[in-house]
């Protein structure tokens, strides 16, 4: 996990300090900031909405309670235990999604309160990507991470529908519009999704724009379209699938974490290890969760995970196809089980519905997300 966060730190340059501490969250019964700025008032917050497909989808109360106890503070900060106890927009978004999937509105509100108070420090509606507990200010780099923004906006859409809350919907729309306007290069031939507003464009890098396929959160895009229909989210999905078809490097045909899109044929981005690693293992999760199960799209992942001489998932050097490291915490293997279920209909192992209680934030989170994806898309693989 530290390796992928090192890559993120390398990618996101310091943009100046912000004096942000970890304050107590605002009162839970307070009106959302969006409403206080003149958006729809409290009397409209209970307007009926469509049913969230994510609401109560986890189906495992004990797993959520264990996760919440280990990784979510009383203030609503989601703690990355494998990465120096930091928090980031990705983790806050995952926590909010899982809270909706567990039907836990109190936890959702606490996580959202902390996110707004500590990461919403930019001039737009996007989030600063990283908060460090042992530093003041906790946010030193106000660059955003687009995957974290998408996750939080998606979670707000689901919460708005789950609990008929117009305040969540307004916040989701604000974020979704800024994601579309500020991080999607619709005028570029490949229409890439930039990982962050700073540091990845053609103006910022000689090999830019640079993309990361794990930032295409495919199940989120149709949901964001319900609050920001002026953004062509279908084109975002197409651009991700087109890049995935082209970014098949070396004998493994796997994508690298960071991809240069300067030329018509993508290639590994300069300055980053040319590996399929901790970020990229989420690509099959998002594909399956969105119902994209064509075996031709999944083939490189299925082949990489089908035959392994040891437990865990491999970090693959795309230049020669060799394994350079193993991701061994059990939550990672939930992704390969989901992959086999989605593509081939294989029954899930008995321990799939019983996440380990001793692993770090990232594999634990991936396991619960895989469980939600199965509950919403592939219940037949559960064998009941």
Q: Which residues are catalytic?
A: 90, 147
Phi-psi region of 118 (alpha: psi -120 to 50; beta: other; left: phi over 0): alpha
DSSP state of 249: B
Q: In whole angstroms, what is the distance from residue 224 CA to residue 369 CA? A: 19
Q: In whole angstroms, what is the distance from residue 340 CA to residue 50 CA? A: 32
The CB-based long-range contact list for 178-184 (8 Å cut-off, 24+ gap) reads 178/124, 178/125, 178/126, 178/149, 179/126, 179/146, 179/149, 179/150, 179/153, 179/224, 179/231, 180/228, 180/230, 180/231, 180/233, 181/231, 182/124, 182/126, 183/126, 183/144, 183/146, 183/149, 184/231, 184/236
Q: In whole angstroms, what is the distance from residue 267 CA to residue 256 CA? A: 8
CB atoms within 10 A of CB 324: 12
Residue spans of alpha helices (H) in the chain: 2-11, 33-36, 61-71, 89-101, 105-119, 146-163, 166-183, 220-224, 233-246, 282-289, 295-306, 330-344, 361-377
Q: In whole angstroms, what is the distance from residue 362 CA to residue 369 CA? A: 11
Q: In whole angstroms, what is the distance from residue 240 CA to residue 211 CA? A: 10
DSSP lists the bridge partners of residue 88 as 130
* Dihedral sign (CA 168, 365, 279, 145): positive
Cis peptide before 137 (omega within 30 of 0): yes
Listed residue (37, 110, 128, 125) closest to 68, CA to CA: 110
Phi, psi (5° rounding) for residue 185? Answer: -90, 75
């Amino acid at each position: 996990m530290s390796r992928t966060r090192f890559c993120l730190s390398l990618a996101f340059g310091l943009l100046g300090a912000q004096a942000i501490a970890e304050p107590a969250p605002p009162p839970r019964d307070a009106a959302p900031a969006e409403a206080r700025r003149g958006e729809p008032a409290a009397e409209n917050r209970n307007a009926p909405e469509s049913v969230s497909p994510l609401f109560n989808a986890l189906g495992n109360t004990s797993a959520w309670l264990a996760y919440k106890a280990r990784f979510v503070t009383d203030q609503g900060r989601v703690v990355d235990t494998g990465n120096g106890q930091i928090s980031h927009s990705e983790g806050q978004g995952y926590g909010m999604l899982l809270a909706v999937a567990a039907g836990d509105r109190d936890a959702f509100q606490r996580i959202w309160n902390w996110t707004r108070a500590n990461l919403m420090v930019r001039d737009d509606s996007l989030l600063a990507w990283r908060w460090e507990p042992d530093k003041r200010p906790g946010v030193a780099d106000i660059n955003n991470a687009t995957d974290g923004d998408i996750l939080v906006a998606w979670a707000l859409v689901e919460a708005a529908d789950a609990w008929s809350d117009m305040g969540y919907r307004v916040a989701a729309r604000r974020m979704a519009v800024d994601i579309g306007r500020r991080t999607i290069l619709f005028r570029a031939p490949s229409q890439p999704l930039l990982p962050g507003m700073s540091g990845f464009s053609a103006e910022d890098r000689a090999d830019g724009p640079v993309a990361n396929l794990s930032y295409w959160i495919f199940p989120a895009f149709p949901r964001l379209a319900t609050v920001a229909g002026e953004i062509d989210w279908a084109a975002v999905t197409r651009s991700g699938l087109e890049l995935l078809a082209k970014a098949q490097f070396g004998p493994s045909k796997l994508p690298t974490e960071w991809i240069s899109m300067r030329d018509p044929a993508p290639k590994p981005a300069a300055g980053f290890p040319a590996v399929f690693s901790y970020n990229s293992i989420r690509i099959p999760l998002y594909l399956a969760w969105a119902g994209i199960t064509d075996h031709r799209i999944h083939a490189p992942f299925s082949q990489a995970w089908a035959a392994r001489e040891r437990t865990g998932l491999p970090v693959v050097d795309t230049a020669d196809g060799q394994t350079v490291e193993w991701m061994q915490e059990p939550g990672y293997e939930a992704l390969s089980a989901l992959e086999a279920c989605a593509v081939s209909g294989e029954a899930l192992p008995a321990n799939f519905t019983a996440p380990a209680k001793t692993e770090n934030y990232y594999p634990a989170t991936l396991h619960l997300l895989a469980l939600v994806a199965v509950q919403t898309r592939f219940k037949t693989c559960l064998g009941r």
